[in-house]
Structure 1
Amino acid sequence: MKKKIISMLMIMTMAAACFAGCGGKKAVDNGAGADTAADGKIYKVGIIQYVDDASLNQIVDNLEKELDAIAEEKGVTFNYKDYYYNGQADSTTINQIVTELINDEVDVLVPIATPTAMICQSATEDNQIPVIFAAVSDPEGAGLVASNDAPGANITGTSDALNTEAILDLMMEQDRDLQKVGLLYDKSQDASTAPIKAAKAYLENAGIEVVEKTGTTNDEVMLAADALCAEKVGAVFTPTDNTIMTAELAIYEKFIDAGIPHYCGADSFALNGAYLGYGVNYATLGVETAKMVAEVLVDGKEPASLAVKTLDNGTATVNTETAAALDLDYEKLRDMCDGFVEIQTSKEFE
């Protein structure tokens, strides 16, 4: 399905005109179209993707595939094609999208990534539409749930929580003489707050100098990467940060040229040129999110009865092209991981 990217102009004219996105038409309830079915009940599934990047694309693709499989098995229909949007990391746009979906009376909201989930939470305080989020790194820290085992009344989902210590163990094993590490992240991303705090504590305890650089746009991230290269750090760590993920294709060659391996909190970073990504399988995350959607809509379970799902995040993904360019032997890391994947640079997962 070609993805619909909603511009601000489109959002402003939604109420005045029949909306047509870049990837399809908005649903029109004419009593016989997408919202009717002869074989079984149709559920409207509103999917709001925070931004277009390889990790989140994997989640959406596998979420949709699993919804289709469940629909065939259970004799129902999940209509997500008419209710999918990409907010392009713009909070005003995402707020407008969520309002539109609520007006469309969707049966569930599925926000992808922490900022989108927080907007959905706020928008459903009064109407209590079920919210099943995906890829929220710290649901409790973001205030989405009281705890992973005790979700909010109408909200739960899947988490891509990162084992920061494990990825830094890999970094230390790769270079036992490491003296200075760069931390590259977007300080406005809630997903980065806890792992950056954990990384600073780990590195400082190990007697390693820490250099922090941040950015909120591609241009700022590129400048931050240049600054880390100028600082001659021995390695760079980035958690599950969507801003840096979006910019990875623009910065990975800078790090290669400077001889700096980039360790990141998702496999998609490695696909986009970083030396190593470590974390959850985002395809599996999409599948598990779809299962939770079905539990709420088809099985009638309350979101509050479903604990947040946190996946095993013990898989390392190494970019073999980048490893060769950096002259790094990654084989010694293999036994430290539950899973080990070798890939080469591409624009995104197929």
Structure 2
Amino acid sequence: MKNVTMISRRSFLKAAMAASAVSALAFTGCGGSASSTVAASSTASSAAASAAAEGGQTFKVGIVNYVDHASLNQIVESVESRLDELGAEKGVTFDYADYYANAQADQSNLNQIGADLVGDGVDVIVAVATPTAATMLAAVEDTDIPVVYSAVTDPAAAGFDGEENITGTSDALNTEAIMNLITAVNPDIDTIGLLYDLSQDASTQAIADAKAFCDANGIKYIEKNGTTTAEVQMAAEALIASGVKAVFTPTDNTVMTAELSIYETFTEAGVQHYTGADSFALNGAFVGYGVDYVQLGEATADMVAEILCDSKTTADLPYQTFDNGIVTINTETCEALGLDLDTVKEAFKPYCTEIVEVTTAENFS
């Protein structure tokens, strides 16, 4: 893949291994479609990768991240870690380090990344988030390169369900459960804020479900939107000014990117921020609920290995959904809001299977 400095974090390592040396390796291990030769300009992704390749096959795995933020980074790290484990188990190499790119939420970047990966002849593309998956699917249209997505909230609405050459994992949110968390702590609440990016497909169904919940329970809602961190900050301030005491955000990439910039604003105003992923809470939000993104990434990597090593097709692997029912409470934020942690946990118990306590961290794995 071409070196696009703005979007790639790939390690460009020593070019000590010529393509002829790589192609001469005896291929053992799992079968399936793989790259048996490497262009002369290619380099090994790492010393460990080249050593592993001596015992088996090497697969080119493109990994495309939509934007740099905690939730999606967590998925990428989990995919990579699991691929390393599976490679060791199966005696093969999954070369992802040479084929990773981050689009930084820019569609033109996504288009270029897709074209580059197809040009590189990757064996599979892992697409993180809905816009990424849609663009990668378009990029591989005239090829047999499969796309395995991760963190696509509504695959059917995105048009992926039943589409050839694509499958993956969904982080669909149980919106009713998280709305129940809000009313469990605030039984007399009369208005809930909804903070999201209108352009984020991942938010569409969850926001519709949140509105339906409010309507059914006689609760008013106030919507505020933003497409950039600055706009999200202004939207958060507008919700505070409107007097809401609780705000709901689904698995929205834009708000997740802004969470470190807004959580203190909410906390200082006494506003509880309930969100659709544990990573929001790790970045300061009061509560995160839903899918374990480490588990999501591992399941995504497992699907990649099944396609490359077990001769499975995307048609053989229906997309997976998860209902972890895990509540993540930021204990620092809970205290700053003047809430008693034990009381909150007791109120949450009927609506989840597990409660996890965290503190704020800018980066985590």
The reply to whether residue 78 of structure 1 matches residue 94 of structure 2 is: yes
Report deviation, 1:77. Answer: 0.6
**Where does 1:292-307 land on structure 2 (aligned, <5 Å)?**
292-307=303-318
Q: Deviations over 1:109-164 (max 9, x none)?
A: 00101110010111122213100000100000111223xxxxx2210000100000
Residue pair 2:9, 2:101 contacting (<8 A) in 1 also: no
TM-score by length of 1: 0.91
Where does residue 30 of structure 1 map in the other structure?
19
Where does residue 195 of structure 2 map in the other structure?
184
Residue pair 1:6, 1:86 contacting (<8 A) in 2 also: no
The DSSP-based 3-state class of the residue aligned with 1:97 is helix
Paired residue type of 1:135: A
Paired residue type of 1:30: A
Report deviation, 1:287. Answer: 0.5
Residue pair 1:154, 1:303 contacting (<8 A) in 2 also: yes
Q: C-alpha root-mean-square deviation of aligned residues, in Å?
A: 1.7
Where does residue 95 of structure 1 map in the other structure?
111
Query: Structure 1: which 5+ runs fail to align?
Result: 9-20, 147-151
The DSSP-based 3-state class of the residue aligned with 2:267 is helix
Query: Structure 2: which 5+ runs fail to align?
Result: 22-42
TM-score by length of 2: 0.87
Where does residue 55 of structure 2 map in the other structure?
39
The DSSP-based 3-state class of the residue aligned with 2:178 is helix
The DSSP-based 3-state class of the residue aligned with 2:256 is helix
Where does residue 341 of structure 1 map in the other structure?
356
Where does residue 318 of structure 1 map in the other structure?
329
Cα distance in 1 for partners of 2:98, 2:313 equals 25
The DSSP-based 3-state class of the residue aligned with 2:288 is strand
Residue pair 1:110, 1:132 contacting (<8 A) in 2 also: yes
Report deviation, 1:26. Answer: 8.3
Cα 1:5/1:241, change in 2 over 3 Å = farther
Paired residue type of 1:281: D
Report deviation, 1:39. Answer: 1.3
Where does residue 345 of structure 2 map in the other structure?
331
**Where does 1:1-350 land on structure 2 (aligned, <5 Å)?**
6-7=5-6, 21-25=8-12, 30-32=19-21, 33-34=43-44, 37-146=53-162, 152-329=163-340, 330-332=344-346, 333-350=348-365
Where does residue 24 of structure 2 map in the other structure?
none
Report deviation, 1:336. Answer: 2.6
Cα 1:136/1:218, change in 2 over 3 Å = same
State percent identity of aligned pairs.
53
Residue pair 1:26, 1:83 contacting (<8 A) in 2 also: no
Report deviation, 1:23. Answer: 4.5
Cα distance in 1 for partners of 2:349, 2:129 equals 29
Q: Number of residue pairs matched?
A: 330
Residue pair 2:9, 2:102 contacting (<8 A) in 1 also: no
Where does residue 11 of structure 1 map in the other structure?
none
Report deviation, 1:31. Answer: 3.0
Residue pair 1:6, 1:87 contacting (<8 A) in 2 also: no
Residue pair 2:9, 2:100 contacting (<8 A) in 1 also: no
The DSSP-based 3-state class of the residue aligned with 1:89 is coil
Answer with 56-65 or 155-164: which moved more.
56-65
Cα distance in 2 for partners of 1:319, 1:119 equals 35
Larger Rg: 1 or 2? Answer: 2
Residue pair 2:278, 2:287 contacting (<8 A) in 1 also: yes
